[in-house]
Structure formats: C-alpha cells, structure tokens
Structure 1
Amino acid sequence: MDSSRVYVYGIVHAGRSLPPDVRGVGRPAAAVRLLPVGELAAVVSDVPDDLRARRRDLMAHQELLTRLGAGAPVLPMRFGMVAEDAATVRQAVEAAAATHLAALERLRDRTEMNLKATPAQSGIEALVRADAGVRRLLADVRRTPSYEGNVRLGQAVAEGLARRATEAVEEALPRLSALADGFVRGPDVPGCVLNGSFLVPNAAQERFRAEVERYAAGCAERVELRLTGPLPCYSFVPQDGAEPGTPARTSAAHAGVGG
C-alpha cells in the first residue's frame, strides 16, 4: 500500500458510520476509513501498490458504494480516483462543500436504475410484415440471389430493427420518467439504442421495475429491455468541482474515472 496517496470512494455526510466489515480495493483488501471535512466526510483507503481495473476491484468498489448508499445518500466516485494525500482530499471537499451538500440532499432516499435497450432479434418477421422496403429487398434476393443483395438486405434489416426499437423506447420514456426524479442518457453502448439512467425514489423502485417489465412484455417484438439496479448514483453527481484529487494515472483511469 502507498502510505501517502489516498483512494477516494465517495463523499457522505459527517457522522456516518461505515457498514461492518466493509473493505476496499486491492489484495489484501484495503481498510476503509472516514476522513471528516466539516459537515462532510470522504470515504477513503490507502492506495494498493498495483491499482488496476481488475474485476475483483471494480466489484469491491461498487459493492462498498452500494452498501453505503443503502442507508443514506453517498456521492460516488468512479473507480480509480486517487489523491496525492489526505490534505488534498480535505481541500477539494471543503472547496465544493455547498455543491456536495446540495447533491447529497437531492440523492436522499433515491437510487440509480440503468436501462439498456437493444433491438429485438425475434422481431424480424414483424419487421418484414411492416416494412415494404425490406419486403422488396427480400423478394429481390429470393428471385436473384447475390452477395450484394444479401448485404443490402442485412443492412436494411439491422436498420429497421434499430428504428423499431428506438421508437418503442421513445414511447416508454415519458411513462418511466414520470416515476423518476431525473433521467440522463449515458455513453453509447454497442448494439444498444438506449443506455439511460433514472434517479428513482426508493419508494417507487418496485413500481418502476414493474413498469419496465410490463412494457418489455408488450413490446417484445420491437425491443429488449435490461434494467440494472439499484446502483450508486454515478450519473447524478455534479460534474464540476465534485471530485477530490486526481485520477490515478494507471489503467484504472480508463475504467470510467469521473463523477
């Protein structure tokens, strides 16, 4: 362990206690502690000597934040957030204290739910019935088979499936957003027409999940929906001045460091 640098997991209200037996990243797992800063506290540990974006460390980081967020709000840091020392963390947290306190209040009794949507591959038959252009290309290929014809047909099918999936998602978003206190679109994910996160009140989690399942069943020929959560509220942490320290200049920094 590096005895001076500090690994930062998140920011919580002062006076919080850590879950029992909670451990951090690294092998052996780092001991986690609270670093008080006025009305706030940073959740930190020493930095493992070989910090990298290994699956076990990514999972340890997320599990710690999930356990913290189960009892009270937490502003999560992305994996790999490292500061040069404790003083750097204190200074950064103190400088943005008002922003952190407002964000913690917004996240109180809420959680993040992530929704990914992909075109329904089982919907090709429905696409052919609905799309005259695809029907025409299919007839051409059957009448005069060719490589170029197959390529054009394949592209038309892929585009048609993606279009139908996108339309289905856009129909669902208003109803899902009505059950949430926030919605943001995340980075593009290959194969997905939507990667979006919702800030869902804890009391509405089951209703939100049931609405996703209901819509997924009703639109199974157009879109496949995958809901993940509850998650740490990464997508709803303020971007400016929200993170203490500097990302580790290792491969960990490419695992999504940032607020």
Structure 2
Amino acid sequence: MSVMKSMLAAAIATVALSAQAQGLPSSATLGTLVVVPANGEVVHANDQVTVTLAIEEQDKDKAAAASRVNQKMNQGVAIVKQADPQAVLKTQGYYTYAVYPEAAPLPPGTTARPRVPTGWRVGQYLQVTTANLAALPKTVSAAQGVLTLNRLNFGLAPATVRKLDDQRIAAAYANLQQRVAAIAGAMGRSVSDAVIDTVDFEGSGNYAQRVNVAGARSADAASYSGSQVAEPSFEPGETTLNMGLVAKVRFK
C-alpha cells in the first residue's frame, strides 16, 4: 500500500512540475502592471564646432606683457572674422599671474622674506563657434599665426538637435513597443491585451564629441612678420542622441 502511495505522490509531483514549466495561465496575469524602460538612439554627423584659441605672454614688465596680449588678441579676432564671417566670437578668461623664482630651503631659524616676482604671465582665451566646417582648417591655420589652438569641441547645432527631437521620440516609442511585445510573449499573453497606462519621457544624450588638440606657441602670420602655419586636418565625427522613457503597461 505504501508503494502505491509513493507512486501516486511521484505522479502528482511530475504533473505539477510540468505545469510550472509551461508557465502560468493567462488568467493569472490579469490586471498585472508592468514597468517597462525603453531607449531610442539617433546618430547624426556633427555640424558645429567650438574652437578655443589662446594667447599668453611673459615679461618682467606686467604692462608690456598685457600690451602684447591685447595686441595679438585684437589681431587674432580680426583674422578669424575675416576668415569666417559667420563665426560667433567670445573673448574670455583674461588672467594675470606673478612669476616667482624658485625658493631655496631656508636654514633653521631663518625667517622667510616676502617673495618678489621676477616676471608676469598674462593671457586670454577666444572662443569661436561656427557651422562652417569646410573652412575650419583654413580659419584655424590663419588664427594660429598669432594665437594658440587650445581646444576643439565638435557637436550639433541647437537647430539640428531640435530637428532630431521627433526622431528620438519615435525611436524610443518603437523600442517600447518591441519590449512590450516581448514581455507579452513571455507572459503568454497577446500584445493586444497590453494597455499603456503612463509614459514618462526623459531625454538624456551625449550632445558633443570633444576632441582635445594640444597647441604650442606659434609665430606670427606672414602679414605679421612671421611664418605661415600649415592647415591642420580635422574629422568632425558624429553625435548620438538618446531619448529614454519609462512606461507603465497594464495587461487587461
């Protein structure tokens, strides 16, 4: 008798395990609320660049250093405006630092004397924003005759980002639909049973691809009694815009 009971119990366990392997019945997921994250991407070639140019002078006379910086910055601004009239210019970061000699270790008990500067470092930055990428090498080459190339930042113009916003939303919503269909299939439900309750769009993208270019002090351009700087080569690259969303989906 005990053998029969054992065989019956084993059969019941086998049926139960088989039922679990086949998944829950669809009725078990009625009214289920599922939180679904989704993401959409749009890739676009960069169509704008922000160039940072700089000038720095050092002299024992602070006024002489500042005068040369002011003169060369004025020259650099004029060169950039002539090379690219469409560019938007912004001068920034004017600085003046005292240069001190290296201090030797003082003997014990000696009182340190006030340090006296031996010179002055004066500098300024010029930010240039333009969509004229075709003329960028020529513009930078001309500017490097007077100023130093400090940094490049390729990205998308604000108008381009706004234009791509519709595509980002559509891509994110399409990804949501794909995920809802996959979830419905895993639950053994029809995708037609899914009802979107809430959609929360959260835009989060990498709007700029930074390219750092180390620059060195260069001589004046030919028109300023110096040598002409060869044109550099730039690759603007592309930017990926992301649109994230979180949706609440209920299965009826």
Q: TM-score surpassing 0.5?
A: no
Whose relative contact order is higher, 1 or 2, with alpha carbons under 8 Å and at least 6 apart?
A: 2
Q: TM-score, normalised by structure 2?
A: 0.32
Q: TM-score, normalised by structure 1?
A: 0.31
